[in-house]
Structure 1
Amino acid sequence: MEDIRGLFQIMTRRFGFLNKNCCTAGGCDITLVQSHILYEIDRQHRPSIQQVSEALGTDITTFSRQIQALIKMNLVKKVSDPDDRRVQILSLTTEGKYVATTIDQQMKEYLTEVFSHMNDFEKETVLRSIKLLNDAMAKSSICCSTPIG
């Protein structure tokens, strides 16, 4: 049987997931976690802190520290929900939107370049396989947690 973990280890390194900063945009060094947060805030449109934390599978305490860092970088705004003052709503600042868009463009360019080394059939096979893997991971009883505990 193939070394499945080894395949994932190599892919993780090649994607740069282990790098301290995944990208630089708008003069900001952004960590991988921060780029995921910006993406979710942009994708969900004015979500609560809880909604983004749950979407990323992150505990709220760690997540709150990341939000504070993004607020200090002037990329994210946090305001109380007018209907329920206990709920904090997140949105991107103008700078945050620029950074999120820049990161998105960088990722699209990278993936386009990667897929340029494959024919259409290979590309479709990889994308279909990633979708299957994501679906299977979502059904896993240990999804979104560290397998070791």
Structure 2
Amino acid sequence: MTAAEAVEAVQREMTAFARRARASAGRMHPELSLVSYTLLGHLEERGGCRATDLAAHYALDKSTVSRQVGALERAGLIERRADPDDHRVQVLHLTGTGRRLLAQVTESRRAAFRERLADWPEEDLARFAAYLIRYNAWTPPDAPDA
């Protein structure tokens, strides 16, 4: 396989992976989209953050994040709290319900990955993980945080 063919195969397979991830997210928890799951995960990982930080991190339009945040608030999964350092700023945090739902969906996703990768040799899994980490770590030269 040439480099050009390999790049084409990577693009095709990453597109299929993204499509499958979106579809399976809906099956794992119908009320929690892949975007919502990702935002909840980021809030948990960071211990809360501003909506503008979410938009910047995921390179999403502020209005898109605003709609997602509104839906997550209405569902009782996140709440706004005043920033202790600047009371003009609202920081988004998971609620107890949000933490429980995120843990449930995360475990379902892990189980699905374990099942799909169950017959892979350990060295293949390690190599695949390393390649994904390397791929996702790349930042375009003109990116704001580059």
TM-score range, shorter chain: 0.7 to 0.9
Determine which of 93, 110, 132 is the counterpart of 2:112: 110
In 2, the alpha carbon distance for the partners of 1:142 and 1:89 equals 25
Q: What fraction of aligned residue pairs are identical, expressed as a percent?
A: 19
Matched, 1:12 2:34: no
Question: By how many angstroms is 1:141 displaced?
Answer: 4.2
Aligned to 1:88: 90
In 2, the alpha carbon distance for the partners of 1:70 and 1:125 equals 36
Question: By how many angstroms is 1:9 displaced?
Answer: 2.3
Check whether the contact 2:55–2:62 (CA below 8 A) recurs between aligned residues.
yes
Check whether the contact 1:22–1:31 (CA below 8 A) recurs between aligned residues.
no
**Counterparts in 2 of 1:23 and 1:142: CA distance versus 1, 3 Å:** farther
SS at match of 1:110: helix
> How many residues get paired?
138
Q: List alignment gaps of at least 5 residues for structure 2.
A: none
Check whether the contact 1:23–1:31 (CA below 8 A) recurs between aligned residues.
no
Give the superposed CA RMSD: 2.3
In 1, the alpha carbon distance for the partners of 2:122 and 2:137 equals 23
In 2, the alpha carbon distance for the partners of 1:106 and 1:131 equals 22
Aligned to 2:56: 54
Higher helix share: 2
In 1, the alpha carbon distance for the partners of 2:82 and 2:27 equals 30
Matched, 1:23 2:28: yes
Q: Which structure is higher in RCO with an 8 Å CA cutoff and minimum separation 6?
A: 1
Q: What TM-score do you get using the length of structure 2 for normalisation?
A: 0.81
Q: What TM-score do you get using the length of structure 1 for normalisation?
A: 0.80
Q: List alignment gaps of at least 5 residues for structure 1.
A: 144-149
Q: Which amino acid aligns with 1:34?
A: S
Question: By how many angstroms is 1:59 displaced?
Answer: 1.9
